[in-house]
Amino acid sequence: MATANNLSTMVRDITYYFIKHYYDKELQNTEQRVLTEDQLRGMIDRLYVEKVAELKKYIRDTLKENLGGGYSSLAVENILLEMFNEPEYSKQRVFLEIIEYQKKL
């Protein structure tokens, strides 16, 4: 069974991967090399509103696949509850990670 800290890290990484997928699509659609901070914030805000159910399902499914019998639905639901009750913190973390990624391009 994954520890709470490992589980939180996994959820963070899965969320980043999910957002990054839509970030890459946004770059392709807008034919840009990077997004401005305003474009990035807008995209992340939209994803947290429009794709919240899809993101939660993606997190659950990915964790079930990776953890197998060690998957704890209670622990995962607690993390998701915390994450989506305070979405500004989660959105800011993803925003900062993508900004750092863009600086390296």
Beta carbons of 47 and 91 less than 8 angstroms apart: no
Pairwise CA distance, residues 62 & 95, whole Å: 22
The whole domain housing 53 covers 4-103
Q: Which amino acid is at 49?
A: V
**Is 87:48 a contact under the CB 8 Å cutoff?**
yes
Q: Given this model, what pLDDT does residue 8 score?
A: 92
- State the pLDDT confidence band at 1, using cuts at 50, 70 and 90: low
Q: How many domains does the chain have?
A: 1
Q: How far apart are CA 105 and CA 102, in angstroms?
A: 5
pLDDT tens-digit series, residues 39-75? 999 999 999 999 999 999 999 999 999 999 999 999 9
Q: How confident is the prediction for the chain on average, in pLDDT? A: 93
**Tokens 């997928």 -> residue:** 21
